[in-house]
Amino acid sequence: MAELEGLEYGKSDFVLLDEVTMEQFMENLKLRFEKGRIYTFIGEVVVSVNPYRQLDIYGKKVIEDYRGRELYENPPHLYAVADAAYKAMKRRAKDTCIVISGESGAGKTEASKYIMQYIAAITNPGQRAEVESVKNVLLKSNCVLEAFGNAKTNRNDNSSRFGKYMDINFNFNGDPTGGHINNYLLEKSRVVQQQEGERNFHSFYQVLRGGSDELLKSLYLQRDPAQYAYTSQGASASNNDSLCHKAVMAALKVISFTAEEIISIYKILSTILHLGNLQFTSDGEHVILVGEDTVKHISELTSTEPENARKTLLYRTVATGGGEVIEKGHNEQEASYGRDAFAKALYERLFAWIVGRINSVIEVKDYNPALHGKNTVIGVLDIYGFEIFDNNSFEQFCINYCNEKLQQLFIELILRQEQDEYQREGITWQHIEYFNNQIIVDLVEQPHKGIISILDEACLTAGKVTDTVCLDSMNKKLGQHPHYTSRKLCPADKTMEFNRDFRIRHYAGDVTYSVEGFLDKNKDPLFQDFKRLMYNSSDPVLKEMWPDGKMSITEVTKRPLTAATLFKNSIIALVDKLACKEPYYVRCIKPNEAKSPMLFNDGRCQHQVAYLGLLENVRVRRAGFAYRQPYARFLQRYKMTCEYTWPNHLMSSDQEAVEAIVNQHGFEDDVAYGHTKLFVRTPRTLFTLEQERAALIPILVLFLQKVWRGALARMRCRKIRAIYTIMAYYKCYKVKAHFWEVERRFANVRNMADYGKSVEWPKPPAALVQFHRITQHLYRRWWARQLIKNIPPSDMAEVRAKVAALSALRGERVDWGYSRAWERDYLANVSFSLGYSFRTFTLYFYIFTSFLLFLSPDLSFLQLNWFNNTKDRALLITDKHIYRVEPKKHFKVQKRISLDAVVGVSVTSGSDQMVALHTTSQDDFLVHLQRGQLNPNQDRVGELVGILTDHFTRTAKKNILIKIQTKILHARCMNSCFFI
């Protein structure tokens, strides 16, 4: 890191100083401040000097330079410590915290904002909407809390007048999922009174100077802050209040405050301003309010009845010992005190409600560790710094006590625990002396003896106990304490006054406190009437802020804890919360009191360096070790950098394995071996190990991906094999089940009248579709055989002819005579005399031909020639020839055509009896079969087609083409027409 900045900028880490002395420390700090280098390391602690000017060191480019880099890889910066805390949280799944400390005006609030901006910038690379929403709320909450919790003081224009600790929750990916804000000790006394040159809280001036005319009119406000008693003190100063008001309004909307809630917030602010202008006078017996219009405005803004508001300001309801309720009128002093207490309580509860409302939006919802993984946390603490004013009261006492606790935590974690760990681990070590401020913490918080206990005892004592009596009690009990004194204990010290002041020797210097008002501020009294008034408001926001107002005046309740005890308990809880996290520190230093970017006050800065314990921190860090880790954890993280430890070592102990890693890299002179931990002196060693580990990670990731992908492939293969096995068995089962079902359904078909034709076939599985068709075909053949075997042999020729006709006509001719008997030789059944000549003719054909294919008994026929003459003709078809004969000439054969010459038959799809016989010589016969005299309705086309088709198929062993024409019957070279 020393190589990253030139020598002209000094040493970027105080550990690198030639000699650890206050003179060299201050010289280096001043040089870096003058050169614009406001950040310097002490190991992992960042020392920040307020520059009182804008520096160009916070842009997106700078964020990218520090993102994911090691702490000492870049020059010192807030981003470096923020990234270190984030990496520690993400790498080791360990909760971390960033503690920002320093006195008022040292730049703590700005530091916390830059840290928050950095964390927001480096998270959620996937730009998921829900994470972006959480980040926006976390960032915008700073703007709102600054407006309502910060104020201008003589030391700081934007001083935090409350303590803030924010927990940011992260998921296992390192993306923010929510958060929680804790606020501590709002300086509510500032609402009613400020020191000379200071202002009230920013929110009052922002609404007056930045609110629209319509808003101010609805709130009955004027734009000039000097018109109101509570803001007149700081009316002349302006901190861009108008622009800030717009930013706050926008932030409230981002945080999901509703329009009604925002109006209620500004109504409460205006109510407080109006309360400050209320005046009380006395007519001798009663106290009178001056300005009834103001009371009406207050009642309207708080949604209460004007008469109830007036009575609450002038009277107090008390319950007597007998349970009687009476109204007791205030005097002027009591009325003014009640008014101011009410104004302070209103603002305090408003602030607490705003914080609670923000928490309700950003808190992690529906979190399930088993489902969402470990929820890690980064805490950011921005709390008021050490304060020494001309007049220090109860608020400064609490603030300085808080800083004592935080300093004690710093000493405990950084100085004492580190040195104790060296001794516990057996590391050679020379003890470094430092101031332990536990004695001051005990002075304030020790039970029964501490200042807070004495204050509580005085508040609980019956009777009139004044601040002076309380001071006397502290003098008696704490007179021998080395860090406590007062004018009574030290009469020669004229810087303190009798019966008013006491002094505590804090780690940051001596602070004189005025005891006036201590008891009242500790009791924090507020008349119950104000609580009931607000609880009965019709404004839901106000009603929610005052839940304790529902109790009646006669209800007996436990005495509430005092303000000091409540604050002590909250700070102890805060310290416990910080102690269980891995801390990172930002130590802020204020260079001068004039807020000048050029002035470096050596005495002022040296005082801060001394009480912050920075020099002791340098000595401990210089003499000690920058990094320590248990052997098992170190081995787990860096074992891949050594061949003897990857993937698992075979040595006798983890310490030997760690020694092997260190020796292989040549770091023997930069480490020390404890009983359970390895100690690394310089960050350079750790940085080198991290670099080598980062280079090996991609290789290991690829190896793991390869192994895992192979495992996935094998699992997938086993699944596929199992699937195919199951499929095979399932297919086998489906096949068998199909066979079983077919067998069941067709088991008794032989005994059925229709031989199972009416039985429905089961749907086959996909694998058996073709087999199913074959099975059906075989069944149909069996079924046909069962029918045919019962047919007499004399009828077989007719059956074959009908089957041939059915196949040839293909269903295109509806009526083709299949329902009647086909006798082929109709002459045998003729019942009337046909004449001797014809009988002789037919006998002749029976003798000289082997088989008669077709012969009709209706023998009247005509021939139509090309000359339009008609002649009687006859047509006989045998298995050899087709004959054309003349009946009137003793059936003389006119023409004979071989049956083998016929190649086709054409018929129509209608009910006519027209048939065309096609021959190879293209000398076609067009025949019209007359229905005859015996059976006028007989269709003989089907019989002729069937006989011819069957003959050609069975006897001639060849196919004859059968054509079914829809409208026109075609014949070629037709030499004659027959009408039979």
Q: Most distant CA pair in the chain: distance in Å?
A: 180
The CA distance from 97 to 94, in Å, is: 10
Of 96, 160, 400, 641, the active-site residue reads 160
Q: To the nearest whole percent, how much of the chain has pLDDT over 70?
A: 88
- Between residues 693 and 4, which one has the greater pLDDT? 693
**Does 210 participate in catalysis according to the annotation?**
no
Please state which of the ranges 457-466, 609-618, 926-935 shows the lowest mean pLDDT.
926-935
Supply the angle between the helices 259-276 and 202-210 in degrees, to the nearest 10: 100
Is 942 annotated as contributing to ligand binding?
no
pLDDT at 833 over 50: no
How many whole angstroms separate alpha carbon 141 and alpha carbon 248? 9
Token representation of residue 839: 């009988």
Residue 370 marked as a ligand binder: no
Round to whole Å and give the CA distance between 643 and 649.
9
Tell me if residue 315 falls in helix, strand or coil: strand
Band the pLDDT of 795: cuts 50, 70, 90: confident
Is 281 a known ligand-binding residue? no
Q: How confident is the model at residue 723 (pLDDT cuts 50, 70, 90)?
A: very high
Catalytic member of 10, 105, 613, 674: 105
CATH top class, domain 627-705: alpha beta
Catalytic residue among 28, 104, 150, 512: 104
- pLDDT for 857: 45
CA quadruple 126, 132, 135, 139: dihedral sign = positive
Position 369 confidence tier, pLDDT thresholds 50, 70, 90: low
**What are the tokens at 144?**
């709102």
- Interatomic CA distance for residues 536 and 543, integer angstroms: 7
Q: Is 109 annotated as a binding residue?
A: yes
* pLDDT tops 60 at residue 309: yes
- Tell me the pLDDT tens digit for each residue of 258-302: 999 999 999 999 999 999 999 988 877 788 888 788 999 999 999
Given a contact cutoff of 8 angstroms between Cβ atoms, the answer to whether 351 and 148 are in contact is yes
Please determine, for residue 725, whether its predicted confidence score (pLDDT) is greater than 70. Answer: yes
- The DSSP secondary-structure symbol of 669 reads G
Q: Tell me the pLDDT tens digit for each residue of 41-52.
A: 987 789 999 999
Query: Is 850 a residue of the active site?
Result: no
Please tell me whether 218 is known to bind a ligand. no
Residue 849 has pLDDT above 70, yes or no: no
DSSP 277: T
Confirm if 99 and 406 have CB atoms less than 8 A apart: yes
Q: How confident is the model at residue 932 (pLDDT cuts 50, 70, 90)?
A: low
Over residues 215-230, the pLDDT tens digits come to: 999 999 999 999 999 9
387 is catalytic: yes
Residue given tokens 């579709």 in the structure block: 769
Choice among 101, 159, 376, 878 that is catalytic: 159
Whether 159 is catalytic: yes
Give the C-alpha separation, 785 to 798, whole Å.
16
What values do phi and psi take at 947, rounded to 5? -65, -45
Say if residue 725 carries a ligand binding annotation.
Answer: no
Stretch among 463-477, 479-493, 888-902 having the lowest mean pLDDT = 888-902
pLDDT tops 50 at residue 888? yes
Catalytic residue status for 141: no
Q: Chain-wide mean pLDDT for the chain?
A: 84
Show the 3-state SS of 412-458.
HHHHHHHHHHHHHCCCCCCCCCCCCCHHHHHHHHCCCCCHHHHHHHH
Domain definitions of the chain by residue range: 627-705, 749-789, 792-970
792-970 placed in CATH 2.40.10.10: no
pLDDT of residue 862: 44
pLDDT(78) > 70: yes
Asked about 385 being catalytic, the answer comes back as: yes
187, 150 Cβ separation under 8 angstroms: no
From the candidates 149, 385, 450, 624, give the one annotated as an active-site residue.
385
Question: For the residues 332-356, what does the mean pLDDT come to?
Answer: 92
Q: At residue 352, does pLDDT exceed 90?
A: yes
Clarify whether 517 is annotated catalytic: no
- Residue scoring higher pLDDT (137 or 413): 137
End-to-end CA distance of the chain: 124
For 93, left (φ over 0), alpha (ψ -120 to 50), or beta? left
Query: Where are any strands of DSSP class E within 19-154?
Result: 39-42, 45-49, 96-101, 150-151
Check residue 285 and give its pLDDT.
74
What are phi and psi for residue 629, nearest 5 degrees? -155, 140
Main-chain dihedrals φ then ψ at residue 559, nearest 5 degrees: -65, 125
Query: Residue 842: pLDDT above 70?
Result: no
Given this chain, do its domains 627-705 and 792-970 carry the same CATH topology?
A: no
Q: Is residue 163 annotated as part of the catalytic site, yes or no?
A: no
Average pLDDT over residues 112-120: 90
User: How many whole angstroms separate alpha carbon 756 and alpha carbon 779?
Assistant: 9
Instruction: Determine the average pLDDT of the residues in 113-134.
Output: 85
Given the residues 146, 198, 348, 387, the one annotated as active site: 387
Q: Is residue 633 pLDDT above 60, yes or no?
A: yes
Residues in contact with 118: Cβ distance below 8 Å, sequence separation at least 6, in sequence order: 63, 66, 78, 79, 82, 83
Say how far apart CA 976 and CA 980 lie, in whole Å: 13
Question: Measuring CA to CA, how many Å separate 959 from each of 761, 763, 951, 955?
Answer: 34, 36, 9, 10
- pLDDT tens-digit profile of 962-972? 888 887 777 76
Give phi and psi for 709, each to the nearest 5. Answer: -65, -40
CB atoms within 10 A of CB 543: 16
Is residue 583 within a helix (H) or strand (E), and if so which, with residue range?
Answer: strand 582-589
What's the pLDDT tens digit per position in 537-549?
999 999 999 988 8
Residue 106, annotated as binding a ligand:
yes
Q: What is the mean pLDDT of residues 816-828?
A: 73
List the strands of the sheet with 852-854, edge to edge: 852-854, 874-878, 881-886, 892-898
- Strand intervals (E) in 645-718: 671-673, 677-680
**pLDDT at residue 850 is higher than 60:** no
Q: Alpha-carbon distance 219 to 226, whole Å?
A: 17
What type of residue is 104? S
Q: Is 819 annotated as a binding residue?
A: no
Catalytic residue among 112, 142, 153, 156: 156
Give the range among 351-355, 388-392, 556-560, 809-813 with minimum mean pLDDT: 556-560
Residue 581: which of 93, 228, 927 has the closest Cα?
A: 93
Of 109, 376, 400, 486, catalytic = 109
| Continuous segment of H or E residues that includes residue 727 | helix 683-745
Residue 560 structure tokens: 């509430």
pTM of the predicted model as reported, rounded to 2 decimal places: 0.67
196, two tokens: 């000379």
Buried b (16+ CB within 10 A) or exposed e, 460-482: eeeeeeebeebbbbbbebbeebe
Residue 724 neighbours by CB under 8 Å, 6+ apart: none
Residue-by-residue DSSP string for 758-797: TSPPPPPPGGGHHHHHHHHHHHHHHHHHHHHTTS-GGGHH
